[in-house]
Amino acid sequence: MAEKKVVLTYEGLKNMEAELENLKTVRRKDVAEKIKEARKQCVLSQEQLAEKINVSTTHLYRMETGVSAGSMDLIVEIAAHFDVSLDYLVLGKEQPRDTLREKVRTLIRFLIIWLEEL
């Protein structure tokens, strides 16, 4: 069997680099949507979530719009806060959920927020 030689040009490397950057951007936007969706399901404002996870509102806004990725530590904290897996948040893998449990948790979170505002 003959060996195949692969020759990469500078232009080819630049194209590969651009494709990789595009994939990172797409993944960052997917994570951003998941964070925003989870925050809204818990009836939290950006300000409330930012305070709970110890970041500025601007930083959270940048994460939710896909401009900034956030550190892995922060992503882990957000996943824990919303009781979702990292697979769900980062990779978009659906996770099995007990819908009644989910509704009760959402209701409890809403009541806690409402009580804090009194």
Task: Map out the domains of the chain with their CATH numbers.
Answer: 12-117 (1.10.260.40)
**What are the tens digits of pLDDT across the range 80-118?**
888 888 888 887 777 655 666 777 788 888 888 888 887
Is residue 1 scored above 70 in pLDDT?
Answer: no
Cα–Cα distances in angstroms (integers) from residue 81 to residues 18, 54, 73, 89, 101, in the given order: 34, 12, 12, 12, 16
Helices 57-64 and 10-41 sit at what angle, rounded to 10 degrees?
Answer: 120
pTM: 0.61
Cβ neighbours of residue 94 under 8 Å, at least 6 residues apart? 88
Nearest Cα neighbor of 70 from 106, 107, 29, 100 is 29
